[in-house]
C-alpha cells in the first residue's frame, strides 16, 4: 500500500515509521522541512514540503496512486480541508483526519470523514483505520477467547448486504457505525462506503476473518 500523511509532528512521524516498518510505501507532507528530522535517518519514504491540501503537493506525494491518506497536522481546518480535497477530488476513500475539537469531529464524521479527536488519540488507531488488515478490539471476554472488534474492509465489500457478509465470514455483525452513529443492522442492511464494521469473533478465527475482509468477497 502507499499512504500519504500530512503533518510530521510526533503523531505523523510515529505513524510514518510504523507504516514503513510494516512494508508499506509512505509519503509525508509538512510545511517545515525541519520536521522531517523526526522521521529518523533510516526513513526511506518520500518527504514533500508544502500544504497538504495543495493539489500539486499532493500529486508530488503520490496521492493519485495512494491507498490511504491521514491528515494529522496541528490545525483542524487544514486537516479537514485536506481530507475533503483528497476524498472528493482524488477519489481516495480511505481517509482519516485528526481533529482537536471533539464537537467538530462529530460533525465531520456525519459528513463521512472518519476523525480522531485528541482526547482519544493514538497513532495506532489511525494505523488500524488505514490498513485493511488488522482489527481494533472493542471488547474481550474475561477468558480471552472472544472479542468484539472493528475490522477494516476492502472496498469491494461495499454494496453487499450484512446477511451476505455474515454468510461469507461465518461470524455475526452486531453493529455498524455510519456517519458517526451506531446502527444495528438486519440481514438486508447494505454495507455502504464509509461504514465501520464490527464483528463478534473468536480469537482463533480473527486472522482468518481479517484476511477475508482485506481481500475481495469469496464467490458463492
Residues 122 and 142 in one domain: no
pLDDT in tens, 8-26: 998 899 889 989 988 899 9
Residues 201 and 100 in one domain: no
Closest CA to 69 of 10, 12, 122, 142: 12
Tell me if 85 is assigned to some domain.
yes
Radius of gyration of the chain (CA): 18
Helix (H/G/I), strand (E/B), else coil: 36 = helix
Q: Which of 130, 161, 183 is where one domain is finished?
A: 130
Tell me if 65 is assigned to some domain.
yes
Tell me if 102 is assigned to some domain.
yes
pLDDT in tens, 26-78: 999 999 999 999 999 999 999 999 999 999 999 999 999 999 999 999 888 88
Q: Which of 93, 108, 130 is where one domain is finished?
A: 130
**Grid cell locating 7:** 503533518
- Quote the pTM value: 0.59
- d(CA 183, CA 189) in angstroms, rounded, equals 10
Q: How many domains, the chain?
A: 2
Q: Which of 108, 130, 152 is where one domain is finished?
A: 130
**Which structural domain, as residue segments, surrounds residue 139?**
135-214
Tell me if 220 is assigned to some domain.
no
Residue 159 sits in a domain whose CATH number is: 3.30.70.1450
Amino acid at each position: 500500500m502507499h499512504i500519504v500523511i500530512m503533518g510530521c509532528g510526533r503523531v505523523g512521524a510515529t505513524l510514518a515509521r510504523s507504516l514503513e516498518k510494516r512494508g508499506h510505501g509512505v509519503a509525508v507532507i509538512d510545511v517545515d522541512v525541519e520536521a522531517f528530522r523526526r522521521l529518523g535517518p533510516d526513513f526511506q519514504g518520500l518527504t514533500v514540503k508544502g500544504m497538504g491540501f495543495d493539489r500539486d503537493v499532493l500529486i508530488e506525494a503520490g496521492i493519485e496512486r495512494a491507498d490511504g491518506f491521514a491528515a494529522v497536522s496541528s490545525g483542524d481546518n487544514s486537516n479537514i480541508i485536506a481530507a475533503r480535497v483528497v476524498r472528493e477530488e482524488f477519489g481516495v476513500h480511505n481517509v482519516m483526519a485528526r481533529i482537536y475539537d471533539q464537537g467538530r469531529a462529530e460533525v465531520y464524521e456525519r459528513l463521512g470523514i472518519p476523525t480522531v479527536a485528541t482526547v482519544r488519540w493514538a497513532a495506532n488507531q489511525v494505523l488500524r483505520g488505514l490498513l485493511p488488515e488488522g482489527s481494533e478490539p472493542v471488547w474481550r471476554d474475561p477468558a480471552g477467547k472472544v472479542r468484539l472488534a472493528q475490522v477494516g474492509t476492502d472496498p469491494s465489500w461495499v454494496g453487499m448486504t450484512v446477511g451476505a457478509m455474515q454468510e461469507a465470514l461465518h461470524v455475526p455483525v452486531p453493529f455498524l457505525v455510519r456517519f458517526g452513529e451506531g446502527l444495528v443492522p438486519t440481514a438486508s442492511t447494505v454495507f455502504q462506503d464509509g461504514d465501520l464494521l464490527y464483528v463478534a469473533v473468536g480469537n482463533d478465527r480473527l486472522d482468518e476473518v481479517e484476511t477475508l475482509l482485506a481481500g475481495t468477497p469469496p464467490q458463492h
